[in-house]
Structure 1
Amino acid sequence: MRASGQQGGNGRGYALVTGASSGIGAAIAREYARRGVPLILTARRTDRLDALAAELRGRVDVLTLAADLADPAAPAALQAEIASRGLHVAHLVNNAGYGVPGRYLSSDWKTHADSLQVMLNGVCELTHRFLPAMEAAGHGRIINVASLAGLVPASAGHTLYGATKAFLIRFSECLAMEMETRGVHVCALCPGFTYTEFHDVNGMRDRVSKLPKWLWLDADAVAKLGLDAVERGQRRCVTGGANKLIAAISKYLPDGLAHALVASRSKEFRDAD
């Protein structure tokens, strides 16, 4: 693990943001900095982390920790490095994640196992490691970045993505109920289509760019909505009016009709080949 740039503790709780090198993670880091919360940023791409840290250090203390959360040892290593510096994590943002395109059998098991380690096992372990100190302090905030995909009917392709995000939503809601009298707020942030590099990474940029503009939000808006929601004690935050409508329709439509509608349009936003 490579660390750089921390300016020294200031007695305040830090925000640990995973997947902070770009997209929603970077936007959340910027929003925390705007609110004066010092940061611990982690991701694989050290050049991106260092650039973001340089941008934000004029506002708050920033520590960067390069780590690959596909490595099962990464959560424990992160906790140990943070503890060695005497820092307290008061805000945890489990944002790291990605989609594996195509049919389930079009990728080998190692590819799927890595994605589950990042988006499911790693999220649960980081939460389990940092939550006790929040509970002891009587104050903490946890944002698990899920997706609208966890609230709508399944579609072919990207097989584990929606399933993992559905898990994160239920996990967040259960944990929020357990913590509601202990000063710790937990929120599942459920963005829909967001202007980030996500669709470039999974090879879907050309397809999703044809979707209507009203379906999209920018990452900065998503970040602000998420931080506001967790501060209010909101257990689930679906971003944007269009996405809230889609989630509501998915909930109340008969299963057969909802699945048929999604199946008829899924090739616009999922690679099932």
Structure 2
Amino acid sequence: MSAIDPSRNHALVTGASSGIGAAIAREYARRGTPLILTARREDRLDALADQLRGSVDCVVIPADLARPDAPLHLFERVRERGLQVGTLVNNAGYGVPGSFLASDWTVHAQFLQVMIGAITELTWRFLPGLRACGAGRILNVASFAGLSPGSRGQTLYAGAKSYLIKFSESLALENAAAGVRVCALCPGFTYSEFHDVTGTRGLVSQLPKWMWLDTDEVARQGVDGADAGRAIVVPGLGYKVLRQVIKHLPDAAARRLMAKNTGRIRDAR
């Protein structure tokens, strides 16, 4: 078997068409890492790839990760092209506004497929190759919501992100000896399309300025965290302080605090 050439290792970024995913792709391009970009919106992927191809090689492979067959299809497309993945960025995700019973089960099932099923399967399929690289990286874009008490509205979101954080911690322990570094990036409110898609832009626009993070800075800290082998990265001083407050509050008090403030950040109808 021929040796792995680290200079040819691509970073595969899911959900790369906008927001944090696009910013992470730009950050890797800035560092000279060739890219595989995937998301549902091929036109946006093509536009981003055109911007970045002056710096690095960019391959576009559209995929809808809500489809159960999409992770295997994506893996096979990468393999067919003879591409080496040295970094896996699991970024694709979204929120389902409203209370749990406000949406049909098919909506929740697709959400769970994208946020848990696809991420887990992609990691399982690409992990052997990452271990073979000897310096593989996995960057899982979680959320500060996964470190906070659950709230009303977007009922499955915090649970899915909490899963991703614990999954990342376990992967980091299991694969450290093989040179694979795993990081869960846990940003708070970030300037992106996320809140437009969930219909909560009007609510969250009223939040204080310190709670908003710059997308490019979040991406930079995430990539740095993965390279450094930091299991959890929380961008923003305010969120670092808030995390410590939540950790030291009694659970009941933390839940009461979340219940009091849910209406500021979630549509729980």
TM-score range, shorter chain: over 0.9
Q: Following the alignment from structure 2 to structure 1, what is the Cα–Cα distance between the partners of residues 82 and 12?
A: 14
Q: What residue number does 1:46 align with?
A: 42
| TM-score (norm: length of structure 1) | 0.95
Offset of residue 137 of structure 1: 2.4
Does residue 1:180 correspond to 2:180, yes or no?
Answer: no
Q: What residue number does 1:117 align with?
A: 113
Does residue 1:76 correspond to 2:76, yes or no?
Answer: no
Offset of residue 10 of structure 1: 9.9
Q: Following the alignment from structure 2 to structure 1, what is the Cα–Cα distance between the partners of residues 172 and 6?
A: 28
Q: Following the alignment from structure 2 to structure 1, what is the Cα–Cα distance between the partners of residues 196 and 147?
A: 23
Offset from partner CA, 1:107-151 (integer Å, 9 cap, x none) = 001000001100101000000000001112212000110000000
Which consecutive unaligned segments of at least 5 residues does structure 2 have?
none
- How many residue pairs get aligned? The number is 265
Aligned identity (percent) is 59
The amino acid of 2:142's aligned partner reads A
The amino acid of 1:161's aligned partner reads Y
Q: What residue number does 1:136 align with?
A: 132
Does residue 1:108 correspond to 2:128, yes or no?
Answer: no
Contact 2:6 2:86 in 1 (8 A): no
Offset of residue 255 of structure 1: 1.1
Which consecutive unaligned segments of at least 5 residues does structure 1 have?
1-8
Q: Following the alignment from structure 1 to structure 2, what is the Cα–Cα distance between the partners of residues 258 and 10?
A: 45
- The one of 254, 257, 265 aligned to 2:261: 265
Q: Following the alignment from structure 1 to structure 2, what is the Cα–Cα distance between the partners of residues 147 and 262?
A: 16
Q: Following the alignment from structure 1 to structure 2, what is the Cα–Cα distance between the partners of residues 48 and 176?
A: 32
Instruction: Give the stretch that moved more between structures: 130-139 or 191-200.
Output: 130-139
Q: Does the C-alpha gap of structure 1 residues 206 and 183 become closer, same or farther in structure 2, counting only changes over 3 Å?
A: same
Q: What residue number does 2:213 align with?
A: 217
Q: Structure 1 residue runs of 4+, over 2 Å off?
A: none
The amino acid of 2:201's aligned partner reads R
| Residue aligned with 1:196, SS | coil
Offset from partner CA, 1:23-52 (integer Å, 9 cap, x none) = 000000000000000000000111111110
Contact 2:131 2:179 in 1 (8 A): yes
Q: What residue number does 2:192 align with?
A: 196
Q: Following the alignment from structure 1 to structure 2, what is the Cα–Cα distance between the partners of residues 221 and 163?
A: 25
Q: Following the alignment from structure 1 to structure 2, what is the Cα–Cα distance between the partners of residues 204 and 106?
A: 16
Q: What residue number does 2:165 align with?
A: 169
Q: What residue number does 1:230 align with?
A: 226
